[in-house]
Amino acid sequence: MTSAAADGHVDLDLTGRTGRSLLWSGAGFLAQRVLGFAMTVVLARLFVPDQFGLTAALMTFVLYAQTAIDLGTGTALIYERGTSPERLRVAMTINAVTVVALTALGFVAAPWLAEFFHVPESVALFRVTSLTVLLMGAGAIPTVLLVAELDFKRRTFLNLANSGLRAVIAITLAVLGFGVWAFVWGAMAGALVGTILAFVFTRLVPRFGFRARVALELLGFGLPMTGIRLIETFGLNADYLVVGNVLGPAALGAYTLAYRLPEMLLDSVYWTATEVLFPAYARAREVRRRDVGEAMLRALKLLVLYGGAVGVGLALVAQDVTDLVYGSKWTVAGGVMALIALKMSINSVNNGIGDVFPALGKPHLLFGIDVVVVGLQIPAFIYATRWGILGVAAVHLAAQLAFSAALTVVGLRLVRVPLGRLFSALQSAAFAVAGIVVLALPPRLLLPPGGQRLALTVVAGVLGGGLGLWLGGRDAVDEVVDLARATTGRREPAL
């Protein structure tokens, strides 16, 4: 076999396997988000804003603890593309120690967290919720092994079992009158089932060991990645902290609710892409460095097309969706949802470029950009609270623009891709978004609020997006067809 043929075969195998992984991971995570959204709608109807805000406060510590649950050793295992039993034992040891420490920290910090969110009577809720970290963290390493092998079929079943059980228990107990405790018990049950399935699917027997040299090697890559994720998580969720502390639990409830639909429609797709793209970029790096840049452009073309179209479309219908789905008591969340949808549409750029940094062994560059942007946006969030939750959402949108611009400049230089090629890759998204705005904005502005305006705006947006793709985005449609063929194995190998 010639070198060209070999390269072609590797590229095809990468594309096909990545496509199948994306299909499984995307379907699974979308279903997971749908279950979560269904739970949110039910709880929003049953809970008053203060109660719904408390559920968001309870999960704040879990969210940050989950980011540091293995100190990045799992990411190091993915990057290494294979690991020895010794390295796996060391990674599991680091994970176990970290999980126990984080759980203990949550238990001790519960009174302070309750006071921070102005719910001092809820210390017991915070302490019990911290046990979710222990249940979730125990399965971190076997879950990472599924990701490293792009085994997203089993990962999908794992996530669905977790989310499904959580939703069923939370909704059932909420209807029975258990209040916020329904959410807590549902989260714990889901985490426990997810961990059990992770070990079953990988057939991993927990074994522990420690060697300083191996630990330093794993942490040398993992700690910077953990730092990046903590900074990113803090930056993406610091608005929750500011709203909860400054404006109180009721405002936090409305602000959290505004996020749920954009998370389901946009963030779930980005998360799926990130899960698949990092190991895919790492595989591409093994073939040729320039292949990472080509893979990035292809990913950006599809991610920004989807994110731009759905984000702008959702921003146009956010107020009507809020009033009709959640009820009139949540009407204040409509404007926030519109801004968050626009912010998440811009985030599509970050998710296409961000995984290039760790894939090329340069996570420190991403960390530096994160630190600067987060350092600027925190005081801006605090200042914006004088305009309520709408002002905080506006700052988040502005911060996302700044972060995306910086990430794009540095990322393009890293993979040696000229700016003109990026603009070419984003042309399809620009035409689709323009078509949506041109056709959907008139009914949104001219019709009275309600179901009729919502329906007509959605139809006009779909027609506008299709028209835009027909005029200037047919290459993106070809990309989708090509990816589908590679995913189903119908494309012939390149010779």
Identify the residue whose tokens are 């190998």: 493
Identify the residue whose tokens are 């009914």: 443
152 to 335, 404, 464: CA distances (angstroms): 36, 28, 34
pLDDT of residue 81: 54
57 to 11, 114, 233, 315: CA distances (angstroms): 45, 8, 15, 26
d(CA 453, CA 218): 55
Closest CA to 392 of 343, 462, 356: 343
Indicate the DSSP class of residue 458.
H
pLDDT of residue 8: 39
pLDDT of residue 287: 47
> Position 341: which residue type?
A
- Separation of CA 312 from chain center: 18
pLDDT of residue 40: 87
If 0-12 CB within 10 Å is exposed, 13-18 middle and 19+ buried, where does residue 448 land? exposed
pLDDT of residue 267: 82
d(CA 360, CA 281): 8
d(CA 265, CA 261): 6
Indicate the DSSP class of residue 322.
I
d(CA 316, CA 457): 8
pLDDT of residue 485: 62
DSSP element (H, E) containing 236: helix 212-242
Give the global pTM: 0.79
Q: What are the 10-residue block averages of pLDDT along the chain, 495 residues in total?
A: 37 48 64 81 88 89 78 68 73 86 91 93 94 87 76 78 90 92 93 90 82 79 75 79 93 93 85 60 52 78 91 96 91 95 91 77 77 85 94 92 88 85 89 96 94 96 93 77 58 38
d(CA 370, CA 234): 10
Determine the angle formed by the axes of helices 249-262 and 49-67, rounding to 10 degrees.
Answer: 70
Closest CA to 344 of 299, 306, 385: 306
d(CA 258, CA 216): 42
Structure tokens at 115: 């006071």
Structure tokens at 5: 């043929």
d(CA 224, CA 219): 8
**8 Å CB contact between 313 and 262:** no
pLDDT of residue 192: 93
Q: Which residues of 47-72 are buried (b: 16+ CB within 10 A; e: fewer)?
A: bebbbbbbbbbbbbbbebbbbbbbbb
Dihedral pair phi/psi, residue 208, rounded to 5°: -120, 150
Q: If DSSP codes are grouped into helix, strand and coil, which group holds residue 434?
A: helix
pLDDT of residue 29: 66
Dihedral pair phi/psi, residue 417, rounded to 5°: -110, 125
> Position 327: which residue type?
G
d(CA 78, CA 141): 11
d(CA 473, CA 60): 40
Structure tokens at 201: 């699917």
Identify the residue whose tokens are 């699917």: 201
